[in-house]
Amino acid sequence: MVNRKINKIDNKGVSPVVSTVLLIMVVVVLALIILLWMWGFIQEAKTKKIDDIEKSADEFCREVTIEPILNDDGSYGFENKGSVPLFGFKVKTIMEGSSSIDESNKDYHLNPGFATMISDSVTHQEYESIEIIPVLLVINEKTTASEEYPCLDELKKIK
């Protein structure tokens, strides 16, 4: 028989303290990466303040109330019956299956209790549907700048 010398290699692993610290660092780095990735999906908070009452813009959008004005001559408009002043509004019209949004009224201020007529070359009888998209002036909490906020989820149908 041949004698073979087996070289024993001294197997030493990483100490438990070092491995625990490395594991915690990996978890923290992964959590930071996920947080930064998700940050882009989080919508910036937008608030509005009326008479020392500050709420989110969505809450004020739900409080917008308008009453349609449909005249016999084909002209149309609406009255702001709610307690929220409108910075402007957009008009969405549907005729023969196609819709369009008129944004020419987006800088038209309309306080509660006031009415406006919408100038249009087409009478309200020719449209299948007319909806108002209220636009509020809100403050972006992140930048503290004022900006327009269309209440897209709160379309107000006038016809």
pLDDT in tens, 98-122: 888 887 776 678 899 999 888 887 8
Q: Who has greater pLDDT, 142 or 151? A: 151
Per-residue confidence (pLDDT) for residue 96, from 0 to 100 = 84
Average pLDDT over every residue of 116-143: 83
On the question of pLDDT at 6 being above 60, the answer is: no
Q: Which residues contact 116 (CB under 8 A, 6 or more apart)?
A: 77, 78, 79, 105, 108, 110
pLDDT score, position 54 = 79
Q: Which fold has domain 46-157?
A: Immunoglobulin-like (2.60.40)
- Residue 28 pLDDT: 96
Residue 156, CA distances (Å) to 15, 110, 151 in order: 67, 15, 10
Tens of pLDDT, residues 77-106: 899 998 889 988 888 888 888 888 887 776
- Per-domain residue ranges for the chain? 13-42, 46-157
Mean pLDDT over 42-66 rounds to: 76
Share of the chain above pLDDT 90, in %: 14
pLDDT value of residue 4: 58
Kindly tell me if the per-residue pLDDT of 27 is higher than 90: yes
Residue 5: pLDDT above 60? no
Q: How far apart are CA 157 and CA 53, in angstroms?
A: 27
What is the model's pTM?
A: 0.64
- Using CA atoms, how far apart are residues 27 and 24, in angstroms rounded to an integer? 5
